[in-house]
Structures are given as C-alpha cells and as structure tokens.
Amino acid sequence: MKILLAGGGTAGHINPAIAIAGYFKQKHKDVEILFAGTPNGMEVELVKKAGFKITPIKVSGFRRSLSAENIAHNLKSLYYLFTSNSVAKKIVKDFNPDLVIGTGGYVSGPIVLAASKLGYKTAIHEQNAFPGVTNKLLAKRVDRVFLAVAEAEKLLDCKNKPIVVGNPIRQSVIFKTKESAKKELGLDDKMCILSFGGSLGADIINKMASDLIEWNKDGKVNHIHGYGRLGKELFPRLMAEKNIDLSKMPFENVREYIDNMDTCLAAADLVICRSGAMTLSELQATGKPSILVPSPYVAENHQYHNAMVLVNNNAAKLIEEKTYDKDVFINMLNEFYNDRDKLKAYSKNASKLAILDTAERIYNELMTILDEK
C-alpha cells in the first residue's frame, strides 16, 4: 500500500498528516508513505523528525498589501502557481499511490487536485471550524472530506457527505493525569492557571498574563506562563511597569517556551490561549475550561470561528484582542476562581466535545475507499 500526504505552512496542517501516517504505519508495517511539502517550510523538519520521507514542491500564497517586498513575493507565487501543476502530476505519477490525503495549506492544493484529475482516490482533512481556501476548492472533487467540527460543513460544497472525525491528539496529552503532572511540576493543591501564546508568543496574551500576575500577587493560584520568542523584551518590561519581582513569587512559573505542554496542560484548571484548531482539540481532550483570545491575523478570521464552537457549548469564555478590557478579564478570573462548580461545568462541557479516536476513524473510512477501487 502507498499513501501520499500533502499539508504544510503551519504545525496545525502538518501534525494531523503525521498522525494519520503514523496510524497507517501502525496498522501496516510495509506501507510506503511519502509527504509532499514546500522545501523551506516547517513540514520538512517535522516530517523528517517523525521518520517519513518528503518530496519538495514550491507553492506559496499571495499577499494582499502592496509593497516592493510583497509584489516580489506575489510574482514568485504566480510563477509557482503555473509550475506546481506539472510538478504535482509528476510527484503523483512517479509515486503511484493508492490514496492521496491533503491536510490543508497551499501545498495540498496542487497535489490533491492533480491526483483527483488523474483518477486516484483522494481525501482531505479540515482542522478548523472555518475551512481554508484550499480545502474549500478541493471539497468539490475529493472522495472523502473529514472535518474536525460539524460547524464547518455548512461552509463547504462537498462531492460526498463530509464526516466529522475531530483532530488527531498526541497520546501524551490524552493519558497524562493531573495528579502526576502536579507532582512532576512540584505544585500544591491550589488552582492552576496556564497561559501561553504559542512558541512565538502574542503581545495581547503577555499583557493579560501580566494583569493576571498582578491579580495573583498574594499567590491565590499557581500560574504557568510562556511568553514566547517575541515576548523576551516585552514581558520583562510589563513586569517592571507594574513593579513586580517574579523572583519573590514562587507560585509564578514564567518562561520563554513551554517544552512540556502535555504536563502543564494536565496540571491546569484553567487555560488562557489563542484558538488554533489543534490547541482547542487538546483543550477538549483534557477537559480544560478556557479563556480564548482568537488571533485576528489569520486567514478568514478562522480562530474566532474555532473559539465560538467552545463558547457556544459553555466550555470557554471569549475575549477579542481589539476590545480587551482588564476589568472584564479580571472579572472572568474571579468568576472561575470563586465558583468552582462553574469551573467543573465548563470542564465537563469541554470534554463532551472531545473526539479521541480521530486517526482510527480516518483510517477506517480511508480503507473503505480502497475497497471501492
């Protein structure tokens, strides 16, 4: 059996593809798996680290704002657009796969489209509540469309009825217990709050974390915060402006990067973060109440739509970056801190949204495609 996967640009597109590949490898030791990705994208490192082969195809999106740099970028993108079709066809024909699976990002477009035109069995997986442009186009052609959440279906015109399967979750996230995590981190039984803005960081979440630390001067809670690479200058400045000395606050665990997210997530009672698709799936899998701050800088404002799935199910509160108000945020913190029954209710509601067997569901459905050949 041969499987060709295409997805890139962000970890949110790449990790689902790797999870699907890993499950196929688990089920079929002799399966041949090949990834297609951009030669300079993060998919190269992630795919190789996972132990799979990757072949390059140059594809990039267009930038809307006009500048000399962006015009040059768009000219390259236009060139790649014209050349990617022939490159994609060659990749598909040379590998001759039984299945071709796209998990989003510009790179999946030409690969899945070429495979469909050549008569190969195809499928896509959409991680967000608001589908990306590439998957919107491909949904009309592929044999199977897999969705993380049902809300995405109304925004797609699919050849076949889409199937809700969730997003693949890391096993370490699913099986880590709160008790073992707190012991590992050296935490007591106080409420634990986790805040982060991703590996790069987010100014608004760093601002919120500084307000949280000010609220937590007397150590009401244990707090873990990752300020990210872009917060290395901002966060110390925020602390100085508030005259806060973190060295005298042992209940505050502040660092640039959280490299043990599975442990910190398991220990947390409340999470403050962006609303990327994979992050929300992990919140659901671990049953974590959250205060979500969607990034307004992503395509189609899809993080807002992701967040609203949890908000509408009373599993999260929403704060929009453009209207951030410190008093409103502190009121939310007090509400969760003082009403533990509400915290538990939000936790249960988050758990109800979780799908923990995504890779298995996708695998089983893809095997039916092979039977149709």
Q: Give the Cα separation of 270 and 286 in Å (integer).
A: 11
Taking the C-alpha atoms of residue 137 and residue 125, their distance in angstroms, rounded to an integer, is 13
Report yes or no: 32 and 62 within 8 Å, Cβ to Cβ.
no
Residues 70-81 have a mean pLDDT of 48
Give dist(CA 21, CA 100) in Å, integer. Answer: 11
Of residues 373 and 317, the one with the higher pLDDT is 317
Q: Are 112 and 287 in contact (CB under 8 A)?
A: no
Give the Cα separation of 37 and 57 in Å (integer). 6
CA-CA distance, 350 to 289, in Å (whole number)? 7
Predicted TM-score of the model (pTM): 0.83
Question: Which residue segments constitute the domains of the chain, with CATH numbers given?
Answer: 2-168+356-371 (3.40.50.2000), 172-352 (3.40.50.2000)
Write the DSSP string, 199-230.
TT--HHHHHHHHHHHHHTTT-SSEEEEE--GG
Structure tokens at 228: 């990210």
Nearest C-alpha neighbor of 266 from the set 335, 170, 358, 357: 170
290-302 pLDDT, tens per residue?
Answer: 999 999 988 788 9
Cα–Cα distance measured from residue 322 to residue 165, given in angstroms and rounded to the nearest whole number:
33
Minimum mean pLDDT among 6-15, 190-199, 249-258, 361-370: which range?
A: 6-15
Q: Is the pLDDT of residue 165 over 80?
A: yes
